[in-house]
Structure 1
Amino acid sequence: MPRSRIRRTGLAATAAALLAFTGLSLPAQADETPPPVPQNLIQDPPVTKAEAPPVGVQEWAGPGGAADPGEFTLGPGVMNATTTSRVKRLDAVLPKQGVQNLLAAANRTITPWCSRDPFNTAPDPDLKYCLQDDDSTSHEWIPQAMTGVSDAKDNELYGSAGNIQLFASYDNNDPGRDNNQDKYGDCTEAEAKKRDSCNQKGIRITFVQSRTNPATGSPEVKYRHVLLGWTYINSANHVSFDGVHSAEGDPDADPNKFMQNGVHAGGMVWYGHFLYVADTRNGIRVFDMEKIMDLDPDGDGKAGDTMGKDGADDKTTTANVEDKSKVGRHNNVWYSYGYRYVMPQVAAWKFRAAQKNPTAKAHKYKCATTGRPKASYLSLDRSTVPDRLLLGEYCRPAGSTTYPSTGRIASYPIAALEGRTNDVKAEGWANYLPLATGGAQGAVAHDGTLYVNESKGTDEPSNLWRYKWVGGELSTEGRAAIKTATGAEDLYYERGAGRLWSASEHWEGAVNAKLAEEGKSEECLTGPTSAHICQRVLYAHKLSWVNSQP
């Protein structure tokens, strides 16, 4: 028989979400013993599924053609009011730190222009940032989305802080997705305490800043990870939080069907003090830069810092950032998988259109041409009036006649997303991408040009495409793709510096059977494959250079 496995410690969150809709209540029990939760329960209401339309009825206009913007309509999440009240309670218990204080406490170092080279035969970028070894080679955390202070503020300063980039990573080690008895994610209690990667953490956001070291006067680039959280009320009627997850399986638990495996965080936009994060099958989750909780305010990395009291009782709480095996409140102690900072979700936006995407795993990268889109990536266009948030799909048609979509993209007036009371519609246009084989990992628009990163696998450079809208369609206008990093991801435009940023997601050891089998997440193999190992970087091309290419 298989060993007894445990799920992530925050599963009480999903139970609380379900019970909130049914009107039931949890039985009294110890905080550290959350009730078992069926696999298909999720933090937010499930999407509405529908069978894919039969062949021939999709309104498919072909690559670059017009799509229906009405199907991108977003509605405010039904739990927004409940989430607001929970975050307010959490805010009263845990101390907060602003972005500038968080940056001042950045504890990790980036090395510009290290020897890691995911570009191979592709042209070198204008700037290359190399993460610390454990982040660069992590099997657990896979970088995806990018944004920065140039999106957040017109003057590119948040308070007095500038030169800030953010990237998002998802927990690749089975992040609250299933209970499949595999080596990663679903662990025994002993394994969870011994191996940090067992714990299913969801998503983290990383703040990066180029600055001058106040002690030495020398330039440096520092960064800090922040765990994203989802609030709930636990079995003792205390406010608590979990990692951000989505485990939307098929209700009949058919292993060959799925709706969504985790929250991929394939795109995000920082605008004002809100952070908008893509939730592929649902829409957008919203976080607040003014609600960054600090579980280690004295910064010593030790347990025991005093936290506040929840209004439900008069018990003083403390925090423990040394124990990486727990998250949320347990027996009046706050845990965060060892992260000092936690930023809770404050709202959600949900697609209104019917779900027509396939459920079979064999088609998981294919997209229906109509109905609810996928929120695969997000970006901001500040060159238009008003500022617009772009949302697009990652699709791999692979010659399919049933699902030929190359991926749709549309935009919204982003200021409308701050209201959270009325539907927000796409702003007048929507298109299928001109990519014949799909594979768009990120897209950003500036001055009427759409820039798209197309990934090409783990062993060749990606493509950076440039498109124009001509007669309502997207066209390459004869321009060739620019080769860029292997595993290129989301795109972000830094206006003042004129740089087009992205991240490479691959470290070749992640697909090396020996490394994966041994669970080595902090080292690189040597030997014939070493040239393709340890390649994960953040990088930027000058937009002027991109536009000058044939």
Structure 2
Amino acid sequence: MPSSRIRRAWIAAATAAAAALAFTGLAAPAQAQDPAPDAPGTWIQEPRTAEGTPSPLSAAGWTAPGGAASPGDFTLQPGEMNDETTRRVTRLASVLPGSGGVQKLLAGANRTIEPWCSRDPFGTAPDPDIKYCLHSDDSISQEWVPQGITGVSDAKANELWGEAANIQLFASYDGWDPGRENDPLPTAGDCTEAELAADDACNQKGVRITFVQSRTNPATGSPEIKYRHVLLGWTYVNSADHVSFDGLHAAEYPIQKGVHAGGIVWYGNYLYVADTRNGLRVFDMRYILDLDPDGDPKTHDAIGTDTDGVKTTSDVEDKTKVGRHDNVWYSFGYRYVMPQVAAWKFKAAQSNPKGSYACVATGAPKSSYISLDRSTTPDRLIMGEYCRPESGYPSTGRIASYPVAALEGRSTDVTAQGWANYLPMAGGGAQGVAAYKGTLYVNESKGTDEPGNLWRYKWSDGRLVQDGQAVKTARGAEDLYVERGTGRLWSLSEHRPGSDPDCKANKAPDDPDGTDYCQRVLYAHKLSALGG
């Protein structure tokens, strides 16, 4: 059995042969058992867009805030590993039990939301139409940071999943890796055995999706809001020829950190997740796998067999491992895992400068956030960039759209719908956008020291122009989602106490310890109230 100290070394001068292994069935993520020796980078996941050289000269395409941009830069092409990924997921699903679907998962949701609690990231901003407060540890978690949001109004025209209604989904990324970050040589790897024993947060867990539902409890007849986390995964086949899975990681860092998941869209069976520098990752609601089918974490259930015929079991109590280890399945303690089934990557070279919020004005954009517009024909997926202009890089961030149904094919390129714009905000900083009935809504976070801004824009002669003044909203405002039936515009806040000095320095008058000032909430504004 390999050492518990798992190496995540990235060797820049890896040979072409080693790089080529990244696209074979031997790919072995570093968190998992049996990493392929002398094959650095074989655990890199899809999508992987082509990398170019950043240059301020790319500002030549810049027009002005709100002006036209090139839609051709947004062209997506299918990931090279899509066919292989399909085979792996099918194989994994033959070993691990299914969840029984979204409705069954929601019926067993194990966490409770408190509506209208005292937590108040709005401060002097007006109250929203509705506010959901997460379970206390999720509200202040240093590890999991909320970002993207979607729901059943995106998924289905009738806003029902079977008979289930009132469903929201939000994504959180693992933004804390204390074992590696405290390591004197961070490039050497992740946690030691002692660090793992002290804090399971040492693992890079990637992304989780949280399913939320407001409903009536069938036993009591009382209203309740329940939720459940699902870990997203990446399948691979290790050197022992076992199918397995790891958490999500992205290719843009010297050591592969998690995908940011700044935007998500649920459309039909598919969940699309933004991968910032690379494009889109695709998941399938029909492939949510259950590592605790009897619902009792202590029983370590019997699981199916792979092609080797060896019987396996599961362990959802151990939060320090993921994938198959010595014929036992782990999932960082989560009952449910949803593996990636496909990817879309930018066709143009990615030349945005790393380590900066600046954006080039031409070439591959950033996939910072995505949302769905069902008020057009055909339904469209909106994609846009988070950018902060700086010298030589004036872009405020581009947005464009795709016919979302075209993304289900995965065999030919998908181009943007013939338009693209730079966002009108001179300082950039868009955290999420949503388009509905000709209006573009944009969330701008102002950090932890003041409420964010919710802007409205209209298209006029191919330009985006401001429509009224900004509506003040939550601190740390993130992605946006339109819930058509209720007429609500949903979002969520990302900050937590201790995440920034301002969370304690700028206390609310009735909160001397700063404990509630930055705690996270899901919330929604009435669309009808935003034009006032």
Structure-2-length-normalised TM-score: 0.91
CA shift at 1:534, angstroms? 4.8
Partner of 1:508, secondary structure, is coil
- 2:324 corresponds to which residue? 329
Q: Structure 1 vs Structure 2: percent identity of aligned residues?
A: 66
The match for 1:350 among 345, 350, 357 is: 345
- 1:504 corresponds to which residue? 493
CA shift at 1:21, angstroms? 4.8
The 1:179/1:418 distance shift into structure 2, 3 A limit, reads farther
Tell me, yes or no, if the aligned pair for 2:59 and 2:395 is still in contact at 8 Å: no
Q: Distance in 2 between matches of 1:136 and 1:514?
A: 14
CA shift at 1:43, angstroms? 1.3
Tell me, yes or no, if the aligned pair for 1:112 and 1:129 is still in contact at 8 Å: yes
Q: Distance in 1 between matches of 2:344 and 2:411?
A: 10
- 2:277 corresponds to which residue? 281
The 1:494/1:396 distance shift into structure 2, 3 A limit, reads same
CA shift at 1:40, angstroms? 9.7
Tell me, yes or no, if the aligned pair for 1:283 and 1:349 is still in contact at 8 Å: yes
Tell me, yes or no, if the aligned pair for 2:25 and 2:236 is still in contact at 8 Å: no
Q: Distance in 1 between matches of 2:238 and 2:42?
A: 19
The 1:144/1:45 distance shift into structure 2, 3 A limit, reads closer
- 1:338 corresponds to which residue? 333
Matching residue's letter, 1:540: A
The match for 1:133 among 121, 136, 148 is: 136
CA shift at 1:32, angstroms? 3.6
- 2:384 corresponds to which residue? 392
Q: Distance in 2 between matches of 1:102 and 1:285?
A: 22
Q: Distance in 2 between matches of 1:66 and 1:346?
A: 34
- 1:69 corresponds to which residue? 71
Alignment of 1:232-381 (within 5 A): 232-249=236-253, 261-310=257-306, 312-359=307-354, 361=355, 364-381=356-373
Tell me, yes or no, if the aligned pair for 1:176 and 1:246 is still in contact at 8 Å: no
CA shift at 1:300, angstroms? 1.0
Partner of 2:525, secondary structure, is strand
Alignment of 1:415-434 (within 5 A): 415-434=405-424
- 1:198 corresponds to which residue? 202
Matching residue's letter, 1:436: A
The match for 2:432 among 436, 442, 445 is: 442
1:459-500 alpha-carbon deviations (Å, 9 max, x no partner): 1000000000000000004x1110000000000000001110
Q: Distance in 1 between matches of 2:403 and 2:397?
A: 21
Q: Which stretches in structure 2 are left out of the alignment for 5+ residues?
A: 505-509
Is 1:538 the counterpart of 2:527? The answer is: no
Tell me, yes or no, if the aligned pair for 2:130 and 2:524 is still in contact at 8 Å: yes
Report the count of equivalent residues: 516
1:314-338 alpha-carbon deviations (Å, 9 max, x no partner): 1111111011111001111110000
Matching residue's letter, 1:428: G
Matching residue's letter, 2:267: Y
Is 1:144 the counterpart of 2:136? The answer is: no
CA shift at 1:236, angstroms? 1.0
**CA RMSD of superposed structures (Å):** 3.0
Tell me, yes or no, if the aligned pair for 1:9 and 1:326 is still in contact at 8 Å: no
- 1:520 corresponds to which residue? none
Tell me, yes or no, if the aligned pair for 2:369 and 2:433 is still in contact at 8 Å: yes
- 1:34 corresponds to which residue? 35
The 1:514/1:187 distance shift into structure 2, 3 A limit, reads farther
Q: Distance in 2 between matches of 1:425 and 1:323?
A: 44
Is 1:472 the counterpart of 2:462? The answer is: yes
The 1:480/1:298 distance shift into structure 2, 3 A limit, reads same
The match for 2:484 among 495, 500, 510 is: 495
- 1:6 corresponds to which residue? 5
Partner of 1:406, secondary structure, is coil
Q: Which stretches in structure 1 are left out of the alignment for 5+ residues?
A: 254-259, 516-525
CA shift at 1:383, angstroms? 0.2
CA shift at 1:458, angstroms? 1.1
- 2:507 corresponds to which residue? none
Matching residue's letter, 2:313: T
Q: Distance in 1 between matches of 2:281 and 2:172?
A: 15
The 1:125/1:17 distance shift into structure 2, 3 A limit, reads farther
Partner of 2:472, secondary structure, is strand
The 1:65/1:9 distance shift into structure 2, 3 A limit, reads closer
The match for 1:102 among 97, 100, 105 is: 105
Is 1:221 the counterpart of 2:225? The answer is: yes
Is 1:171 the counterpart of 2:174? The answer is: yes
1:57-78 alpha-carbon deviations (Å, 9 max, x no partner): 5210110000000000000000
Q: Distance in 1 between matches of 2:114 and 2:246?
A: 32
Q: Distance in 1 between matches of 2:521 and 2:135?
A: 10
Tell me, yes or no, if the aligned pair for 2:47 and 2:279 is still in contact at 8 Å: no
Tell me, yes or no, if the aligned pair for 1:177 and 1:261 is still in contact at 8 Å: no
Partner of 1:302, secondary structure, is helix
Q: Distance in 2 between matches of 1:139 and 1:33?
A: 30
The 1:8/1:485 distance shift into structure 2, 3 A limit, reads farther
CA shift at 1:35, angstroms? 4.6
Tell me, yes or no, if the aligned pair for 1:451 and 1:465 is still in contact at 8 Å: yes
The 1:21/1:119 distance shift into structure 2, 3 A limit, reads closer
Partner of 2:85, secondary structure, is helix
Matching residue's letter, 1:340: R
The 1:71/1:419 distance shift into structure 2, 3 A limit, reads same
Tell me, yes or no, if the aligned pair for 1:176 and 1:262 is still in contact at 8 Å: no
Is 1:49 the counterpart of 2:48? The answer is: no
Tell me, yes or no, if the aligned pair for 2:180 and 2:202 is still in contact at 8 Å: no
CA shift at 1:405, angstroms? 0.4
Q: Distance in 2 between matches of 1:299 and 1:306?
A: 13
CA shift at 1:194, angstroms? 3.1
Matching residue's letter, 2:89: V
The 1:301/1:294 distance shift into structure 2, 3 A limit, reads same
Tell me, yes or no, if the aligned pair for 1:143 and 1:170 is still in contact at 8 Å: yes
Partner of 1:204, secondary structure, is strand
Q: Distance in 2 between matches of 1:455 and 1:26?
A: 38
- 2:443 corresponds to which residue? 453
Q: Which moved more, 1:495-504 or 1:187-196?
A: 187-196
- 1:519 corresponds to which residue? none
Q: Distance in 2 between matches of 1:391 and 1:473?
A: 17
CA shift at 1:197, angstroms? 1.1
